[in-house]
Amino acid sequence: MYKTSEISKEFGISPKKLKSYILEKEIPCVKEQISERYFQTILPLIESTEDRIEHKLKNIKPEFQYNSKNNLIKLYRDDAISFLKKLPSNSLDVITTDPAYSGMNNKLKLGRGRIVGKYSEKGKENGKWFKEFEDSEENYTKFLNECRRVLKKSTGHIYIMFDSYSLLSLGHIVRKFLNVKNIITWDKVNIGMGHYFRRRHEYIIFATNQNNRKIRNRSFPDVWRFKRINRAKYPTQKPVELFQTMIFASAEKNFTICDPFLGSGSAAIAAINNNCNFYGCDISTQSIETSQNRISQYLSDGKDILQSKSMAVDDKVFWE
């Protein structure tokens, strides 16, 4: 049984709106309780109510927050799991994210990387190394549980990036919470560093949440060739084309996209390109400030101040 007060709280539906819907649809409600069977008839109301996220977040006072002029792009400074817990259930259409995985770094401790600086400086106030998401099984279990909760049952798609180490150690956990459909290889074209064999690729797990909603078409391969960004202005900055492919494949106009590991804001730029609403969060103040400047400039004149050219190498990209 579901209490109407609990439905309102969890799903971000105003009690008045919920009560009106119950009366309109003549849903049996005894002592403010609804059975599992009839709760299913409320899901269409839940998933079609556009202001549910705002309803849930209105009392949150984050350390830093950004709203674009058209109110479609919103950024919060918060821990990823903490932020997802603040969102209503069944509220996001697509999650595209690149967790700052620490597994390979902690395993190899390679000394000096091109992007993130000296490993010995990790955690120091003036060091280049940014704070990583500790990719333990415990953290990933919490993270994936929240992803499943906030993704819509009818439309929910998710893309999670992994390096080879974290894919082997943590990728299997995704199957406990979501329906894994594909493992996509991102071919970065230009060879990178490596402890034995030099790395040229990363992986993306694509999964759905209790639905079989298809992607836009069946012409997408499972190997995506986009050059890595050299001399990036933000640590581990990913090309917009990477997120553009994810969102184009899985989103429709006005869908709600979320990246709980915002980083440089590449996913937000891709969401704008696809006419989608976007919620991003990151625990780093630098991330929020960098993304805010980038998004504001892009909305103003269409110029991407962090990525001046396309990283696509194929003659035809998937979204054309």
Q: Which domain holds residue 80?
A: 52-301
Would you say residue 312 lies in a domain?
Answer: no
Q: What local confidence, expressed as pLDDT, does residue 315 receive? A: 65
Same domain, 44 and 179: no
Q: Total domain count for the chain?
A: 2
Q: How far is CA 195 from CA 110, 165, 188, 230, 279, in A?
A: 8, 12, 17, 20, 36
Q: What is the pTM of this model?
A: 0.89
Q: Is the domain of 109 the same as that of 18? A: no
Tokens in use for 64? 């830093």
Walk along the chain (320 residues) and give the pLDDT tens digit of each residue. 889 999 998 998 889 999 999 999 889 888 888 988 888 889 889 988 888 898 888 767 667 788 887 778 999 999 999 999 999 999 999 999 998 765 544 544 444 443 344 545 544 444 444 455 677 888 899 999 999 999 999 999 999 999 888 899 899 999 999 999 999 999 999 887 777 888 899 999 999 998 999 999 888 999 999 999 988 888 889 999 999 999 999 999 999 999 999 999 999 999 999 999 999 999 989 999 999 999 999 999 999 999 999 999 976 777 76
- The secondary structure of 226-270 as a DSSP string is B---TT-SSTTPPPHHHHHHHHHHH--TT-EEEESS-TTSHHHHH
Amino acid at 184: I
Q: Does residue 164 share a domain with residue 90?
A: yes
- In a domain? residue 217: yes
Q: Residue 101: exposed, middle, or buried by beta-carbon count in 10 A (0-12, 13-18, 19+)? A: buried
Q: What is the pLDDT of residue 248?
A: 96
Q: In DSSP terms, which residues pair with 179 in a beta bridge?
A: 208
How far, CA to CA in Å, does 127 sit from each of 115, 121, 122? 12, 5, 6
Are 43 and 175 found together in one domain?
A: no
State whether 44 and 62 are in the same domain: no
CATH of the domain at 96: 3.40.50.150
Considering the domain boundaries, does residue 311 fall inside one? no
